[in-house]
């Protein structure tokens, strides 16, 4: 029981660290590449966060057994806090509200498809690393 409580606590702390990393990276990229069209900046920072997080979760799932505590702490905690589907959805809705329909669909569908491919790339790379 105590081991489970420690795992929950460490996973929660890792989630907080992931959320802070997301905030910092998103802010840095948004500040660097901000180009406002119709009052809405295209969310390149969230793209970078979600694609890098998806790649890392794919890599992690290939090299660590899913029931291992480190997979929970890193996958559910750190990377779960780092990546964000809700921010991607919010950004998509904001683009739609501003009449940027093509950008909205590119953002919403593009992130979903690109994140799955990033996870697959990480997974396959992880298998190659594990096979060496």
pLDDT of residue 36: 60
**Is there a contact between 62 and 130 (Cβ–Cβ < 8 Å)?**
yes
More confident residue, 3 or 56: 56
Q: What is the pLDDT of residues 10-48, one digit of tens each?
A: 999 999 999 999 999 999 998 888 766 556 678 999 999
Q: Is the pTM of this model over 0.85?
A: yes
Q: How many domains does the chain have?
A: 1
**103: domain range?**
2-131
CB atoms within 10 A of CB 46: 24
């Amino acid at each position: 029981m105590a081991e489970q409580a420690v795992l929950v606590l460490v996973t929660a702390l890792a989630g907080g660290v992931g959320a802070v990393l997301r905030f910092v990276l998103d802010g840095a990229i948004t500040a660097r590449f901000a180009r406002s069209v119709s009052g809405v900046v295209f969310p390149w920072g969230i793209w970078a966060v979600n694609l890098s997080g998806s790649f890392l979760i794919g890599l992690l799932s290939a090299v660590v057994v899913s029931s291992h505590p480190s997979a929970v702490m890193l996958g559910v905690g750190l990377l779960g806090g780092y990546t964000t589907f809700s921010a991607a959805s919010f950004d998509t809705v904001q683009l739609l509200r501003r009449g940027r329909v093509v950008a909205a669909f590119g953002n919403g569908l593009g992130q979903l498809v690109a994140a799955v491919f990033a996870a697959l790339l990480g997974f396959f790379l992880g298998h190659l690393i594990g096979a060496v």
